């Protein structure tokens, strides 16, 4: 079986985790701080705050941005459900916008049509690693005095107009789930250059505690913490952070290797008339966190049949990106949106294997099967 994805983990990560376990400091401590500092430097932000996962990162970003009950936040429906759920966690209302057919990223023109006096923020998603048009949404948020939050769960290592994702906005959220470009097993990060946000995020992730354990244990004076606001237990462990540090060292290389594989797919499949392949516009640099192929109406096989035929040949695939507004959780909340571009993309696209390292025979086998089934 050729899997859809695999994390790139080596003895480096195993040794890093081993060393932390033997250090007896396994929760949020010095390795978390080191990971934060190195990640912030990598993306070009002033600060980074490590968290338990990207969903908690999105939740805390909503809170520090001032999103709350009665507010609306515009976001794409075409994204993993955690994107919209993070808005509901604050008792605000997700308002679903259409996506661009070519990039699967939120459409700025449609988003603007959805702005009301209740709109507090826009949550953009860099879908499957392809950067959204950050400048368009920055201008939109300035025009209407809204907060901009980036769901960069899939976008570590991607760039927009020559700068890494994570440096453009005040709240950018990353994921280190095993299906992402780099992993800590699970985990998340918020990057920001807003000092007020940074200080509040650190409080919120650890029960509103005024002094964290690392500072208290390293002090030569008795310190007593206070709990200055109602916070959460959204900490990252030092074991995770130690793995993350080693992964970060390899990030640019991993992205380069993924892009080589993506180019092999594009060059080999570009002449198949019934499919559309990813498009990377000038100034946009994707990490190819996933490789999605859209099946046009003239395809001689349905998406689901294609997936089954590939599975029968030992090739794992996945359906296109979900639409949150069509999930039972949101239907039960009364959502009745009709988003034809998002729905069509979800129903007629397929994600194919892409990971590092990937055997050349496996790449050629996938290409061969696609040509046989679609030409």
Tokens 């090739």 -> residue: 315
Candidates 31, 120, 147, 180; catalytic one:
180
CA distance 320 to 348: 7
Tokens 């280190």 -> residue: 176
Active site residue 246: no
H/E stretch holding 292 reads strand 291-295
Backbone angles phi, psi at 41, to 5 degrees: -65, -40
Contact at 8 Å (CB) between 148 and 137? Answer: yes
Q: Which of 70, 147, 151, 57 is nearest to 106 (CA)?
A: 151
Distance of alpha carbon 222 from its chain centroid, rounded?
A: 41
Q: How many CB atoms lie within 10 A of CB 70?
A: 10
H/E stretch holding 97 reads strand 93-97
Q: Which residues contact 375 (CB under 8 A, 6 or more apart)?
A: 272
Q: Which residues are catalytic?
A: 180
């Amino acid at each position: 079986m050729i899997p859809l994805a695999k994390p790139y983990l080596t003895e480096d990560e195993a040794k890093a985790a081993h060393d932390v376990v033997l250090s007896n400091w396994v929760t949020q401590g010095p390795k978390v701080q080191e990971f934060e500092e190195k990640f912030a430097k990598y993306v070009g932000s002033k600060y980074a705050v490590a968290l338990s996962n990207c969903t908690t990162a999105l939740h805390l970003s909503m809170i520090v941005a001032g999103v709350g009950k009665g507010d609306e936040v515009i976001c794409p429906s075409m994204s993993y459900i955690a994107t919209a759920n993070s808005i509901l966690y604050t008792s605000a209302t997700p308002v679903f916008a259409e996506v661009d057919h070519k990039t699967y990223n939120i459409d700025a023109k449609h988003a603007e049509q959805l702005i009301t006096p209740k709109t507090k923020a826009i949550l953009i998603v860099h879908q499957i690693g392809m950067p959204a048009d950050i400048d368009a949404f920055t201008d939109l948020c300035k025009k209407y005095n809204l907060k901009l939050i980036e769901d960069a769960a899939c976008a570590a290592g991607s760039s927009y107009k020559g700068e890494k994702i994570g440096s453009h906005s005040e709240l950018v959220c990353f994921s280190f789930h095993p299906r992402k470009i780099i992993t800590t097993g699970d985990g998340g990060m918020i990057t920001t250059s807003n000092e007020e946000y940074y200080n509040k995020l650190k409080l919120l992730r650890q029960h509103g505690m005024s002094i964290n354990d690392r500072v208290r244990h390293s002090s030569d004076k008795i310190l007593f913490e206070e709990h200055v606001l109602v916070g959460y237990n959204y900490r990252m462990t030092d074991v995770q952070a130690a793995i993350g540090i080693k992964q970060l060292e390899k990030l640019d290389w991993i992205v380069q290797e993924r892009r080589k594989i993506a180019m092999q797919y594009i060059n080999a499949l570009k002449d198949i008339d019934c499919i559309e392949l990813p498009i990377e516009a000038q100034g946009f640099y994707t990490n190819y966190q996933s490789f999605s192929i859209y099946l046009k109406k003239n395809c001689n096989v349905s998406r689901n049949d294609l997936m089954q035929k590939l599975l029968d040949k030992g090739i794992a695939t996945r359906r296109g990106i979900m639409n949150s507004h069509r999930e039972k959780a949101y239907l039960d909340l009364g959502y009745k949106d009709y988003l034809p571009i998002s729905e069509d993309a979800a129903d007629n696209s397929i994600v194919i294997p892409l990971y590092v390292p990937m055997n050349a025979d496996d790449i050629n086998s996938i290409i061969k099967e696609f040509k046989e089934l679609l030409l």
